[in-house]
Amino acid sequence: MANYRSCVAVYPGTFDPLHNGHVSLVRRGLQIFETIIFAVAKDTHKMPLFSLEERVAMAEQAFRNEPRLMVEPFSGLLVDYVAKRGANVILRGLRAVSDFEFEFQMALMNRKLNRQVQTVFLMTDYQWLYSSSTIIKEAAKHQGNINGLVPHAVLDKLREKFPSESDAGPLVTRATNRPVIG
């Protein structure tokens, strides 16, 4: 039987933006796998707020103190990238039953394309169950309090993209009109 601690897993996604649910999944994944490649997708059907370079830079900043994690951009078929990197595991997170159908279809297609690549699912920690990049971007766009939902580097980038209408300053909480503390 293979030693999972010696395995390299690839955690792919658009990460637009990276949020603390992603960070939590990586930390938990590193309890299982020796190395995780945080693979930031170039090719996406989504319209990203951040460029590929910005998404990679934010992830590099968020994981700068984690020597067993590599951040890389990728394009093309995921299973081809996984094989090229010498890995055989795709790490994915599941928040709710609604994620399962899509993730299950993707895992089956990847398995069809390369039978050597396995998909491992981790359930999201309960505190991040409601978090999604889409919801976080929408809240930031409307000056909602996203403190604690994203790493500091991401919060700074969201502030740049969505400056406060009143003073072009930091995102503020609606209730207190005080700056969000990153």
**78 in a known ligand binding site:** yes
pLDDT at 182: 39
Q: Is the Cβ–Cβ distance between 83 and 114 less than 8 Å?
A: yes
**CA–CA dist 36, 11 (Å, integer):** 7
101-130 tens-digit pLDDT = 888 999 999 999 999 999 999 998 888 888
Query: Is there a domain that residue 97 lies in?
Result: yes
Q: Is 128 marked within a binding site?
A: yes
53: Cα separation from own chain's centroid: 14
* pLDDT in the model for residue 164: 79
- Do strands 118-123 and 8-13 pair parallel, antiparallel, or not at all (unpaired)? unpaired
Q: Is the pLDDT of residue 175 over 80?
A: no
The CATH code of the domain that includes 75 is: 3.40.50.620
Average pLDDT over residues 12-16: 96
**Is 14 labelled as part of a ligand binding site?**
yes
180 within a domain of the structure (yes/no): no
- What is the pLDDT averaged over residues 164-178? 51
**Is 131 marked within a binding site?**
yes
164 assigned to a ligand binding site? no
| CA-derived radius of gyration, the chain | 17
Residues 64-82 have a mean pLDDT of 96
| 173 occurs within a structural domain | no
Greater model confidence, 167 or 62: 62
Q: How many domains does the chain have?
A: 1
**pLDDT surpasses 80 at 2:** no
Q: Are 9 and 35 in contact (CB under 8 A)?
A: yes
Residue 176 resides in a domain:
no
82 domain-assigned: yes
For the annotated catalytic residues, the residue numbers are 22, 46, 95, 133
Return the C-alpha torsion angle 84, 103, 53, 43, nearest 10.
80
- Give the residue-averaged pLDDT of 50-76: 96
Q: Cα-flanking dihedrals φ and ψ of residue 5, to 5°?
A: -65, -20
Residue 92 assigned ligand-binding role = yes
Range of the domain at 46: 8-161
> Is 106 contained in some domain?
yes
